[in-house]
Amino acid sequence: MTAVVIDGKAFAARVRGQVAAHVARLREEHGLQPGLAVVLVGEDPASQVYVRNKGTQTAEAGMASFEHRLPADTSEADLLALIARLNASPAVHGILVQLPLPKHLDSDLVINSIDPAKDVDGFHISNVGLLGTGQKSMVPCTPLGCLMMLRDHHGSIAGMNAVVVGRSNIVGKPMAQLLLGDSCTVTIAHSRTRDLAAVCRGADILVAAVGRPEMIPGDWVKPGATVVDVGINRVERDGKMRLVGDVDYAGCAAVAGAITPVPGGVGPMTIACLLANTLTACCRAKGLPEPEGLTA
């Protein structure tokens, strides 16, 4: 079997288009403009690129983009004071603090100081609890993007066996909660899982979120399964730096029914879902109907 390639780049462009159309309607009908504030502390080069991309795509969707770049030695008190101002600002509907933060700052404290209604990353403890109990919440962007692609590809995923490899708070655990919310039978695997190969072979949907280049070979994949590769790993091949996922793409694509590539799969969906979450947060704040198909 040769897998259908799930084109995350094209799908993300469609999501951004839907967001932009909804934003335009909000402006015309209600004189509203959703706003996203991104806070970057320090000079991490990868984070700088992410923040720049987020700013550009936010503006392209017709939303207001507020960037706050703070020096690496910013005190916790100053950062918390900025977040308090953003929480109080009526022009800001979404707040994202770019992680990782410098080591002297307590990430949990900082994230939990964001108003949960503006927590478009979905990392605030209230949103984690709401998601875990099946209530309306802000949902972390990367797992939301994976869920949207799965729903788009399959229609319903109810009753399918889903295996999530990885149990981080930002990808693995919320991914598992979302799959459970769509009535999959969910297994979460991790570094202590026994016979990971056998666990993966039971999956109709296999989500890899490990951070180990090409760790999952084709013979761990059930024929016809859908493979969602969240991994982004930089490796050197033939003297050049390349991006690869957590699955062996060629080996898995030969067995799977559908697969997301790296790059061009889950990655572009993450920022698209950040825009969708900002729009959702704005609609909720104003008591307006939420955009259809852009929430969990």
Tell me which residues are annotated as active site: 54, 98, 121
Q: By C-alpha distance, which of 7, 9, 4 is closest to 270? A: 9
- At 132, give phi and psi (nearest 5°): -65, -25
142 near ligand NDP, judged by CB under 6 A: yes
| Binding-site string for ligand NDP from residue 93 to residue 132, where x marks contact by CB under 6 A and - marks none | ----------------------------------------
C-alpha span between 279 and 291 (Å, rounded): 8
6 near ligand NDP, judged by CB under 6 A: no
Q: Least separation, in Å, of the C-beta of 169 and ligand NDP? A: 8
Region from 19-27, 109-117, 162-170, 277-285 binding ligand NDP, contact rule CB under 6 A? 162-170
Question: Which residue's CB is nearer to ligand NDP, number 5 or number 285?
Answer: 5
210 near ligand NDP, judged by CB under 6 A: yes
Question: Which residue's CB is nearer to ligand NDP, number 190 or number 286?
Answer: 190
Please list, in sequence order, all residues whose beta carbon lies within 8 angstroms of the beta carbon of residue 278, skipping any fewer than 6 positions away.
34, 35, 36, 58, 63, 93, 94, 120
Interface with ligand NDP (CB under 6 A), residue total 25
SS3 at position 24: helix
Task: Please pick, from the candidates 37, 232, 255, 275, the single residue that binds ligand NDP as defined by CB under 6 A.
Answer: 232
Q: By C-alpha distance, which of 261, 228, 270 is closest to 12? A: 270
Task: Please pick, from the candidates 26, 95, 165, 200, the single residue that binds ligand NDP as defined by CB under 6 A.
Answer: 165
C-alpha span between 82 and 5 (Å, rounded): 43
